[in-house]
Amino acid sequence: MILLRAVQGGRSVRNQFTDALKGHNASYIEAHFEESEATHIIYRSGKLEEVNKTGTTGGNIRALVRGGWGFVSFSHLDKLRDKVALAVSEARLAGREEFELSAMEPVVDTVTQFHPHPSVNSGQALNPLPSRERRNSASVSLAIKKELLDEYNDIMLSSPRIQSSRIDYHDVKRKVIFVNSEGSYIEQSKPDLSLRLTAIARENNEVQQAGLSSGSNGDFSAIEGLHDQVREIARRAAALLSAPHVKGGEYTLILDPILAGVFAHEAFGHLSESDFVYQNKQLHNIMALGRRFGGKHLNIVDDATIPDLRGSYKYDDEGMPASKTYLIREGILVGRLHSRETATKMGERPTGNARAINYLFPPIVRMTNTFIEPGSVSFEEMLSEIKEGVYVKDWYGGTTSLEMFTFSAGEAYMIRNGKLAELLRPVVLSGNVFVTLGNIDAIGDDLKLNQGGGCGKAGQSPLPVSNGSPHIRIRHCLVGGQEK
């Protein structure tokens, strides 16, 4: 593999790109080059199915001419100037209307491990990770990784009614360089790790499952010591076989931090990505800045500057500094997420949210760490005021269409007279996101950020992100179940 600081033919990689970008008739040109090493371990039907360790090297050129973009990806550095010329030629064919990208100061920086900008300190105790000794996943042997996953697999399969299990483990060590025609040159390390465990229970023709997701920015210790949690998902999957259905209807709900965070990300966060807003007139009218979407207790934030989260970085894939962006502040829509292009077209400031999953794709507007800020209500207080409702936790999946959403909760319990009652079969939540935001009447004081997810958009999946929330209470939410 090519080291990013290596010398090729007597010239450094930096000089090769800097020279190749000069002398072209284009408004703007940028280049990315990366090397990565990844490990995948997959179990299916309770058995080890795949173990592999791969390395890749490649890059891309993106050029802007008269408002049109050209994009070329490659796996070798040879004939680099020809690749730039091809991207410029493609951009010229696509160009129709001239525009200027939002201004940015050229940046020259090397980021070996992410640290927040000095100005970033909200005073808010996020505590995304417990205190522990960090273990770089790249330095942990394949044998040790497999041994840990074997332990988790054995725990799940040892439960009498667990018929099968699934495990998906992935870690990657990435080094990326960014250079543009404006004078920026940035090197960044971008490690990532994710783990999903699923226990599948079966009895006669009935099948139920329970899962656990975890992850980190390359810290292997984040997925160690989960043995008790793995036993719990096996126990819960088995218990779901005999759990009752909820009667479908409208309920007061309490969402746990994982499901509430997914709601903030999936149902609302994607609507804040300005490429969607700019291209969709209906959504542009709905997502008008200054519009009220909730009570004064509601604040939703996207923040790439928090250290030790999967969605964090110092610079995005356009070389813009990461930022903390309020999307909703005190119930009012006050911001959205931007690339340099969308910021220009909408007359707003760039937010440093242009991201690409790897060198095969151009950067597009993406979320980072998206969460609902904490309030002052305890979980016990929320419960105490509900005569009959449902407590929902975690999630299986869901769909969104503009402002409409449908989510499947991974775990649910009835609430009766202010107390948690029986376990329920998985339930489905649906509604209009803006009506639902307005129906949030209590926000907890127990913010937690979930590291176990990944985001998909425009064929780029799974992009490392984090999301989270405190417990939240929602009135008048439609819950799908079974009529009695």
Q: What is the pLDDT of residues 138-191, one digit of tens each?
A: 999 999 999 999 999 999 999 889 999 999 999 999 999 999 999 999 999 999
Asked whether residue 348 carries a pLDDT value surpassing 70, the answer given is: yes
CA–CA separation, 459 and 361 (whole Å): 9
Look at residue 268 and tell me if it is in a domain. yes
Structure letter (DSSP) for residue 223: G
CB atoms inside a 10 Å sphere around CB 38: 16
Dihedral (Cα; 466, 472, 476, 481), 10-degree rounding = 60
Structure letter (DSSP) for residue 267: I
CA–CA separation, 207 and 426 (whole Å): 12
The encoded tokens of residue 56 equal 């890749």
pLDDT of residue 397: 79
pLDDT tens digits along 402-439: 899 999 999 999 999 999 999 999 999 999 999 999 99
Q: Is the peptide bond before 462 cis (omega within 30 degrees of 0)?
A: yes
- Contacting residues for 456 by C-beta, under 8 A, at least 6 apart: 462, 463
Which residue bears the tokens 């890749």? Answer: 56
The answer to which of 124-133, 305-314, 469-478 has the lowest mean pLDDT is: 124-133
CA–CA separation, 338 and 345 (whole Å): 10
Look at residue 77 and tell me if it is in a domain. no
pLDDT of residue 11: 65
Look at residue 226 and tell me if it is in a domain. no
CA–CA separation, 168 and 20 (whole Å): 40
What is the number of domains present in the chain? Answer: 1
Look at residue 271 and tell me if it is in a domain. yes
Q: Report the pLDDT averaged over residues 279-286.
A: 90
pLDDT of residue 401: 87
Provide φ and ψ at 272, rounded to 5°.
Answer: -95, -5
β partners of residue 8: 11
- Domain of 439 in residue numbering reads as 249-480
CA–CA separation, 264 and 270 (whole Å): 9
Look at residue 212 and tell me if it is in a domain. no
pLDDT of residue 13: 84
Angle of the 80-94 helix axis to the 13-20 helix axis, nearest 10:
40
pLDDT of residue 279: 87
Structure letter (DSSP) for residue 222: G
CA–CA separation, 171 and 174 (whole Å): 10
Structure letter (DSSP) for residue 11: E
CA–CA separation, 474 and 392 (whole Å): 11
Which residue bears the tokens 């909408």? Answer: 346
Task: Say if residues 101 and 85 touch (Cβ distance below 8 Å).
Answer: no
Closest CA to 295 of 474, 120, 72: 474
Q: How far is CA 80 from CA 7, 205, 319, in A?
A: 15, 59, 21
Look at residue 358 and tell me if it is in a domain. yes
The encoded tokens of residue 64 equal 């802007």
In this prediction the pTM is: 0.93
Look at residue 53 and tell me if it is in a domain. no
Look at residue 409 and tell me if it is in a domain. yes
E runs forming strands in 379-471 = 388-393, 397-401, 404-408, 411-416, 419-424, 428-432, 440-443, 448-450, 454-457, 460-464, 466-469
Coil, helix or strand for 271? helix
